[in-house]
Structure 1
Amino acid sequence: MTEVSQAPLILITGGGRGVGAATARLAAAQGYDVAISFVSDEASAAAVAADVEAAGRRALAVRADSADPEQVERLFGAIDQKFGRIDVLVNNAAVLARQSRLEELGFDRMRRIFAVNAIGPILCAQQAARRMSYRHDGRGGVVINISSAAARLGSPGEYIDYAASKGALETFTTGFAKEVARDGIRVNCVRPGHIYTDMHASGGEPGRVDRVKDTIPLGRGGQPEEVARAILWLASPEASFVTGAFLDVTGGK
């Protein structure tokens, strides 16, 4: 039986680590019930869910690969079952592969990066729109896509496929924001810069932020909580007239 929640519900894909986990914890502190998806690290996702519940909010952690439409459908079905609503979607899940020049990139890598980083958010937004949109008798809502400064900078010699996938996500943000504006859905994008997360290890350089921090005008890397605060501002009524916008959290880079 569906239990209709009175608290707003936020879904954060890839919510078991880094920016996603920081956003989940801050959202709980701000009064949201929290659903997160994860792919492999069940222990980390369970720890985030436990922190949400310790803050007095309800939590749901679901194993779901956002690049798989059937898993995305099951994720939203689980949210329907437990909460009976969704108010905010944060498309945070993303993958990064080892630093490489274009000549060395394999097709399977390119396909996986675009599947998770570009198609995945579209699939999740599609499910969210079916629940949020006025045209589907929804209450409205907010979608926040997590891009990267790489979409502007290009990441030459390191991650140009990742940067290109985030560029696609940004174009989707612009179009989707215009498409659903009259349906009560605001769609915005946060562009983190060099942030201290485990993601850099996936690229083969765990200490990357420290290596490049002198190229950042503020002279330091960012913390996941600093990105989380930007996300939750965009989710809040304080940003009620903001849609189709891009918020850089890059230290000026």
Structure 2
Amino acid sequence: KDGARVIGHGRHDAEGVVGADLADPAAADRLWDLALARLDGRIDVLINNAGVFEAVAVDAPLPDWHGAWARTLQINLQACADLSRRAILHWRERGQGGRIVNIASRAAYRGDSPAHWHYAASKAGMVAMTKSIARGFAAEGVLAFAICPGFTMTGDAGDYLASRGGDKLLADIPLGRVADPAEVAAAAVWLALEAPASLTGAVLDINGASFVR
């Protein structure tokens, strides 16, 4: 509705969607090339939103522990870095600026469960990378922002709350409810299209005041 042409990412190709499994170290580079071709050789905004939230116990066998860390860091952080790298090189080649919006997590600041160290670490890495990009490439017109959502209602309300502790979860959120995906999307669109350039490097929290920095 704002006149942007959008290419999404998913597990499989579809209309307006490029399929790629970001667990494959080469997938992010292919994803960029395919999206660039569909957008006639020009991309102005990159939103890194793909991620996994998969548990691994501290007493898991070492190969399982290493595998969980490697998979989470590859999908949540390395692929994000690879796509951001391609974006910066693309904008440098075109002699233009661009915007990167990274969807991190409240876990980047307050940590996560005993089974999700790797998830929290990957999201903290996204925040640090966002700030590094903002500081390192602002002079080239590259702006970088991050969003740190708390719990977000991404499925059936009852199932979602039950899987995350139910009333105990809500008791930890002063707003009294988890975020709606549209709230996160609204922030992403604003950062992608309207936020002032001087805001580069900023991190926006969307968590109902469950964690206040």
Q: TM-score range, shorter-chain basis? A: 0.7 to 0.9
In 1: Cα distance, 2:82 partner to 2:162 partner: 30
Match of 1:130 in 2: 89
| Structure 1 residue 66 corresponds to structure 2 residue 38 | no
Helix, strand or coil at the partner of 1:106: helix
Q: What is the CA-CA distance between 1:138 and the residue it aligns to?
A: 3.3
Deviation per CA, 1:97-118, whole angstroms, max 9, x where unpaired?
13x5433362111110011111
- Residue 80 (structure 1) aligned with residue 39 (structure 2): no
Do the aligned partners of 1:101 and 1:156 also contact (CA within 8 Å) in 2?
A: no
TM-score calculated relative to the size of structure 1: 0.73
Q: CA deviation at 1:93?
A: 0.5
Residues 102 and 80 of structure 1: is their aligned pair in 2 closer, same or farther, counting only changes over 3 Å?
Answer: same
Opposite residue 80 of structure 2, the aligned amino acid is P
Out of 89, 96, 113, the position equivalent to 1:156 is 113
Q: Distance in 1 between matches of 2:161 and 2:177?
A: 17
CA shift for structure 1 position 67: 4.4
| TM-score (normalizing by structure 2) | 0.86
Identity, in percent, stands at 32
- Cα deviation for residue 69 of structure 1 reads 4.3
- Structure 1 partner of 2:151: 194
Q: Choose which of 187, 190, 207 in structure 1 pairs with 2:163.
A: 207
Match of residue 98, structure 2, among 121, 124, 141 = 141
In the alignment, the residues of structure 2 paired with residue 233 and residue 102 of structure 1 have an alpha-carbon distance, to the nearest angstrom, of 39
The letter of the residue matching 2:4 is Y
Within the candidate set 42, 47, 53, 1:90 is matched to 47
Question: Distance in 2 between the 1:177 and 1:68 partners?
Answer: 27
Q: State the number of aligned residues.
A: 203
The answer to whether the 8 A contact 1:67-1:119 is kept is no
Kindly provide the CA deviation profile for residues 30-61 of structure 1, in whole angstroms up to 9, marking residues without a partner as x.
3211111112xx4xx74xx5xxxxxxxxxx31
Shift in CA distance, 238/101, structure 1 to aligned 2, threshold 3 Å: same
2:197 equivalent to 1:240: yes
Rounded Cα–Cα distance in structure 2 between residues aligned with 1:167 and 1:177: 16
Distance in 1 separating the partners of 2:53 and 2:112: 12
1:213-235 residue CA offsets vs partner (Å, 9 max, x unmatched): 11011111111000001111111
**5+ residue gaps, structure 1:** 1-28, 50-59
Which sections of structure 2, spanning at least 5 residues, go unmatched? none
